[in-house]
Amino acid sequence: MFNLPIEGEELFILEFGDIVNYFSVYTTTLFLFATAFIIIAIIARPEQQTDIIFGTDAVYTKEITHENLRFQRFMAIACGLATLGAVCSGDLFNFSLFTALIGITNIGIVAGVNNRYVLNAAYNYGIVAMVATTFLFGGAATALGTCGTLSIWELAGRGMVPLAAKMFLVLGVMGEGMAPFYIAKAEITRAPGAPYVLMIHVSSLLIFLRVIEIILTV
Amino acid sequence: MDFYQVGLFCTLICVIISFIALLRERDDIHKILVVDLIETTGLVIVCLVATDLAEALVLPGLVVGISELLMLTELYIRKEKLPLPAFQPIRIEVMRTAPPIITFALVVYGIILSGFSGGAVAGIGLVFYFMCKGYEERFALLEMVSGYAWALWIVAFFIFMILPQAWLIAVILAGGAILMKVTTKMALIGTMREGRDV
């Protein structure tokens, strides 16, 4: 398992039957990265934008209600925790489940913003994420059907998982990790949801990196 | 060609048709329906290919699908600023007299059954009661019970893994906890119609 080029050294193993959660240098790096951004989401204050009315001296500061702030912060932390789970799970199925959860929480982060364009973008992303879930579960099911196990630990280095299952997994992660494109489309990187939107980018990046590791390992 | 291969082939055709439908659909609310169709047919494929462990994949797949569907519809309502529909609930004789006894019977039978199916039976009783009678309920309390029951369920799983010789207490714990959890979750469905949160 740990003599494969991408993994690096073995750091820690936690066995639950045939499902083995493992930390290699690679996954630990991803894990620490996600942890850092969870801490940022916990301590960060929301950004308060100011609008200047052109031609006058008037300046507006956008208020962010406490309720809205709590909801977005909760969703950002939940998204971070789902990312932690996706990064360190040793099971194809757990990985797809956590990735689906990331998709749901990603929408939660932006759903607090009461703006039609933002909600439209979130809605379109939601449809993509829902279709992507099918691919994720289909990938896990195909791997299970051909190999008889879902444990990455047991599948590692054997090359048993068929190409179709790997393609399904990558397609699924592409769908779930599509969120930053919609963020860019709605231009809310610095809008009311400001610091919490970062978590969307982080989670998408990390699940992409993790799925690369998985398809190179199994 | 046996029945299995025919079934797989037909399901694949269904999936392809639903994907084409998604490509051609332009209306937002119809897109939700078509996406749900894709999820369902996808789950049928999962059922067909994933052999004996399919159950473990299908149930969570269904749950994830339903939660995403709820989230999307909620988002749609917010996006379109749709008002909540106002309607007069139906009032008929049987809805006033039947609920206590039917609910009592179902809850008692559910407790005897215990476990997931028991929870479903007792939950259906509570759904019926809440739907017919109206209620004044503190939802935070129901949610708290459900949360504690879930934690107990996890504790039972840890007992299975760490102390396998204490399996009996773990079985009882898991059976009771899942009963509580499913019952409270299903009872919430009955409260969607009317009544208020105290």
State ipTM. 0.81
Mean pLDDT across chain B? 84
pLDDT of residue A34: 93
- Whether A132 and A174 have beta carbons less than 8 Å apart is answered as yes
Give the per-residue pLDDT at A209: 93
| Residue A2 within any structural domain of the chain | no
From the list A123, A130, A145, which residue is nearest B76 (CB)? A123
Q: Which helix (H) or strand (E) holds B163?
A: none
Domain count within chain B: 2
Query: Do B62 and B115 share a domain, yes or no?
Result: no
CB-closest option in A17, A126, A141 to B50: A141
**Interface contact flag, B46 A103, Cβ < 8 Å:** no
- Bridge-based pairing of strands B136-137 and B196-197 is parallel
Q: What integer is the mean pLDDT of B47-51?
A: 79
Q: Is residue A110 part of a domain?
A: yes
> CB of A168 within 8 A of CB of A135?
yes
Q: A24 — phi, psi (to 5°)?
A: -105, 180
Q: Is residue B38 located within the same domain as residue B120? A: no
- Tell me how many domains chain A contains: 1
Are B35 and A133 inside 8 Å of each other by CB?
no
Q: Quote the domain boundaries for residue B50.
A: 3-80
Using alpha carbons, select from B97, B91, B117 the residue that is nearest to residue B106: B117
Could you tell me the mean pLDDT of each successive run of 10 residues in chain A, 218 residues long? 70 80 89 93 82 82 81 91 91 91 89 81 90 90 85 82 91 91 76 78 93 89
Does residue B76 sit in the same domain as residue B113?
no
Residue B64 with chain A: CB contacts under 8 Å: 97, 100-101, 104, 133, 137
d(CA A62, CA A191): 10
- pLDDT 10s digits, B155-181: 998 898 888 888 899 988 888 888 888
Q: What is the pLDDT of residue B20?
A: 93
CA distances B195 to A28, B94, B127, B130, Å, are: 50, 19, 13, 9
Instruction: Answer whether residue B98 is part of any domain.
Output: yes
Chain A residue with minimal CA distance to B44? A138
Asked if residue B165 belongs to a domain, the reply is yes
Range of the domain at A85: 10-217
In terms of CA atoms, which chain B residue is nearest residue A111? B75
- B18 and B48 housed in the same domain: yes
Residue B85, domain member (yes or no): no
The yes-or-no verdict on residue B196 having pLDDT over 70 is no
B197: left (phi over 0), alpha (psi -120 to 50) or beta: beta
In this structure, are B100 and B43 located in the same domain? no
Chain A positions touching B43 (Cβ under 8 A) are: 134, 137
Q: Which of B80, B107, B122 is the last residue of a domain?
A: B80
The predicted-structure confidence for B5-30, as pLDDT tens digits, reads as follows 898 899 999 999 999 999 998 888 89
- Report pLDDT for A54: 83
> Are B42 and A138 inside 8 Å of each other by CB?
yes
Structure tokens belonging to residue A206: 């990390």
pLDDT over 90 at B182, yes or no: no
Does some domain include residue B173? yes
Closest CA to B125 of B183, B178, B195: B183
Same-domain status, B109 and B166:
yes
Please report the pLDDT score of residue B189 as a whole number: 74
Kindly state whether residue A95 falls inside one of the protein's structural domains: yes
**Burial of residue A3, with CB atoms counted within 10 A of its CB: 0-12 exposed, 13-18 middle, 19 or more buried:** exposed
Q: Are residues B102 and B32 in the same domain?
A: no
The reply to whether A60 falls in a domain is: yes
Q: Domain check: are B29 and B69 in the same one?
A: yes
Q: Is B87 part of a structural domain of the chain?
A: no
* Residues B97 and B76 placed together within one structural domain of the fold: no
Q: Are residues B44 and B108 in the same domain?
A: no
Residues of A with CB under 8 A from a CB of B: 16-17, 93, 97, 100-101, 103-104, 107-108, 111, 114, 116, 119-120, 122-123, 126-127, 129-131, 133-135, 137-138, 140-142, 144-145, 148, 150
Does position B97 have pLDDT exceeding 60, yes or no? yes
Sort out which chain B residues have CB atoms less than 8 A from A122's CB and list them: 75
Is residue A82 domain-resident? yes
B66, B139: one domain:
no
* Closest of A217, A29, A205 to residue A102, by C-alpha: A205
Strand (E) positions, chain A?
10-16, 19-24, 50-52, 59-61
Q: Do A123 and B75 touch (CB under 8 A)?
A: yes
Residue B162 is assigned to a structural domain of this protein: yes
Looking at residues B77-104, what average pLDDT do you find? 80
pLDDT at B63 exceeding the cut of 80? yes
CA atoms within 13 A on the CB side of A55: 0
Task: Write out the H or E segment, with its range, that includes residue A78.
Answer: helix A66-88
Q: Which of residues 116-175 of B touch A (CB under 8 A)?
A: 161
Residues in CB range of A100: below 8 A, 6 or more apart: A129, A133, A136, A176, B64, B68
Quick one: pLDDT band at residue B151, thresholds 50, 70, 90? very high
**Together in a domain, B43 and B110:** no
